[in-house]
Amino acid sequence: MFETVLVANRGEIAVRVMRTLRSLGVRSVAVFTDADAGARHVAEADAAVRIESYLSVDELVRAAGASGAQGVHPGYGFLAENAGFAAACADAGLAFIGPPASAIELMGDKIRAKETVRAAGVPVVPGSSGSGLTDAELATASREIGMPVLLKPSAGGGGKGMRLVRDEAALGDEIAAARREARSSFGDDTLLVERWVDRPRHIEIQVLADGHGGVIHLGERECSLQRRHQKIVEEAPSVLLDGDTRAAMGAAAVEAARSCGYVGAGTVEFIVPGDDPASYFFMEMNTRLQVEHPVTELVTGLDLVEWQLRVACGERLPFGQDDVELTGHAIEARVCAEVARVAGDGRVDFLPSAGTVRLLREPSGPGVRVDSGLYEGSEVGTSYDPMLAKVIAHGPDRETALRRLRSALADTVILGVDTNVGFVRRLLAQGDVVSGDLDTGLVDRVAAGLVPGEVPDEVYVAAALSRQPDVPESGGWVDPFSVSNGWRLGGEPAWTARHFRVPGHEPVEVRLRDQEVLVGQDTTIQPVRRLRTGGPGAEPLETFELDGTVHTFRTADGWLARAGDTWHVQDYDPVEATLAGGALAAGADALTAPMPGTVTVVKAAVGDHVDAGQSLLVVEAMKMEHVIAAPHAGTVTELDVTPGSTVAMDQVLAVVQPDEEEPAHD
């Protein structure tokens, strides 16, 4: 076994790899950029080396050599599937804890990968053949395959750069957008096109291979719950497969691994028609550890990182295919820094968010596992992938695992940055998810119904109460004028008014007096009684009774959490907002940044006349693009950003003055 391993990654995967290294008595070395100097993975490592970029092969190899590491674990993302990095490690005498560079290179080119596995007898999705296709050739291939089609980067995975195109007229714009995202994410804008299977399921097989010809599979994972072609919930096993289909897909995955000389842990991904599971097609092979590997670990009892290390040390697999048993059911939810917003056409946009973690409470309990890179004080920016943590639940059956995971998410508290915890918890209670009737388009179809509408009254009441000073505890006289409870001499208590705004919602006024409250425009006075302002161990709680119902929120710096949902309730000054102008003054004519990020494309200028829905700008954050379109036909009167501009959430980007309506004539 290695004495020292450098972990060439960050965040939750770096922390997770270090956990296994620690259990094996192996010294861990972290790498970090300036932005990550205080990150959790740095604190948990035995040693740490500063670098300029996680994408610098030279820096990582130098860091490994300087730290005395014998091996390098790449995690996932960054250089995990970079053949040049694997080769550079080998050249430097370092063990790359992953497959050989030749396997990474072959399977990293989706076009060559399809040709290779097809030759090994593995069924593949019909699509374009040949690499380096021009835009015109891609469009022609799409028409020959027949709409709808899926555009995919040849050089990467994770859903980045993938575009589903149903309308032939949109091919030009979609090809251009897919190339931009592929170039930004992978440094290579080569695309391929495949036939789109309507209502498909995404099922992948975990394989494990040693350097002595031993190759086995560890069953499948269902990964059909996705948004933007990126997984958010994964489970093992899949309710779709019976024993025979599982064996057949597993055998195909083993052949795919053999066809490229694979060594280590890898995943073979298949697209599967939900109405015909036996008709499965190879999509791609991920030549690394997957984000969702914990569900396989929980149902097999195997530590995949440990076996990556052992295989990289030259050990043989001591078990065969017949020794692999799947026990129970496991489901994983990805916790991402993002906010869901319903657009005017009913589509839900999942937008990256950023901030400082003010309060963190991670769940525990029977069958619950958390893989996390967070701690209180963590800075969540937009430079890296938005995934923060994973909450995983295991049980004797799927129903138990689902119930445990929903409960664990309800107990998850991350205040200071918007996350998808509440959204995923509601998704796991959705009827089709509970029954297991899944497909890759399900989340998009039901998402609008899973995004909360108006902010509940009790959220604003909690915000108002949390800003009320506690009555001084004193055995003597208390000056009534020193207590902000509305008391006044010789009359009924006065109302104390506060104005709040939750991003994405209109401002709301809350008025308190004694034990009564008025919220917003509602003229109904509700009785309110504050019960406590803290819990065991100085837990920051706000507990109160509102109109006969008790509510409890965790609080921190204007943030509130309950049952997985969070709200950032900001103080709002109507006079100051009016004087400040900006988005408020411009009203519906203003286009604001839906997320903090960088402007990558500007397609208009001041004075241009634009049509409703016309694309004006593109904002990118965490390797994701968001198109800013004109809300109505009109003239661009303000546009203060250029390509490369860094923008904050809700910053005004442009203003489109609507066309004047022609007067009606009798």
What is the torsional sign of CA 645, 649, 652, 657? positive
The H or E element that residue 50 is part of is strand 47-50
Residue 91 to residues 31, 64, 265, Cα–Cα distance (Å): 20, 13, 22
Cα(557)–Cα(568) distance, rounded to whole angstroms? 9
* List of residues 6+ apart from 213 with CB closer than 8 A: none
pLDDT tens digits, residue range 166-195?
999 999 999 999 999 888 888 888 898 988
- Which phi and psi angles does 594 have, rounded to 5°? -75, -10
What is the torsional sign of CA 370, 371, 377, 381? negative
- Looking at per-residue confidence, does 354 or 60 come out higher? 60
For residues 353 and 415, the answer to whether their CB atoms sit within 8 Å is: no
pLDDT-wise least confident of 8-17, 273-282, 436-445, 542-551: 273-282
Cα(186)–Cα(581) distance, rounded to whole angstroms? 40
pLDDT tens digits, residue range 136-164?
999 999 998 888 999 988 887 666 778 99
Burial code (b: 16+ CB inside 10 Å, e: under 16) for 529-540 equals ebeeeeeeeeeb
Whether residue 474 is predicted with pLDDT greater than 50 in this model: the reply is no
Cα(225)–Cα(87) distance, rounded to whole angstroms? 35
Cα(529)–Cα(524) distance, rounded to whole angstroms? 16
Q: Name the residue among 53, 478, 361, 165 with its Cα closest to residue 176.
A: 165
Contacts of 565-568 with CB under 8 Å at 24 or more apart are 565/421, 565/422, 565/452, 566/413, 566/414, 566/415, 566/418, 566/419, 566/421, 566/422, 567/455, 567/459, 567/502, 568/418, 568/502, 568/503
pLDDT-wise least confident of 25-39, 387-401, 460-474, 636-650: 460-474
Residue 662 to residues 17, 153, 476, 632, Cα–Cα distance (Å): 66, 47, 73, 15
- Helix residue spans in 120-224 (DSSP H): 135-145, 171-186
Cα(571)–Cα(467) distance, rounded to whole angstroms? 10
For residues 15 and 41, the answer to whether their CB atoms sit within 8 Å is: yes
Cα(523)–Cα(526) distance, rounded to whole angstroms? 9
Q: For residue 612, what pLDDT is reported?
A: 87
Cis peptide upstream of residue 237 (ω within 30 degrees of 0): yes
pLDDT tens digits, residue range 603-657?
999 999 999 889 899 888 766 677 888 888 999 999 989 998 888 877 889 999 9
What domains, with CATH codes, occur in the chain? 4-97 (3.40.50.20), 126-195 (3.30.1490.20), 200-450 (3.30.470.20), 457-470+482-571 (no CATH), 583-658 (2.40.50.100)
Band of residue 488 on the pLDDT scale cut at 50, 70, 90: low
Q: For residue 484, what pLDDT is reported?
A: 55
Q: For residue 305, what pLDDT is reported?
A: 98
Cα(18)–Cα(8) distance, rounded to whole angstroms? 11
- Which phi and psi angles does 9 have, rounded to 5°? -160, -170
- Looking at per-residue confidence, does 561 or 494 come out higher? 561
392 beta partners: 332, 369
Q: For residue 652, what pLDDT is reported?
A: 86
DSSP string of 220-287, one letter each residue: EEEEEEEETTEEEEEEES-SS--HHHHHHHHHHHHHHHHHTT--EEEEEEEEEETT-TTS-EEEEEE-
For residues 460 and 511, the answer to whether their CB atoms sit within 8 Å is: no
pLDDT (mean) for 313-341: 96
Residue 459 to residues 272, 543, 560, Cα–Cα distance (Å): 43, 11, 7
Question: Number of H helices and number of E strands within the chain?
Answer: 18, 39
Total residue length of the chain: 666
- Looking at per-residue confidence, does 503 or 314 come out higher? 314
pLDDT tens digits, residue range 569-607?
999 988 776 655 544 444 557 888 877 888 999 999 999
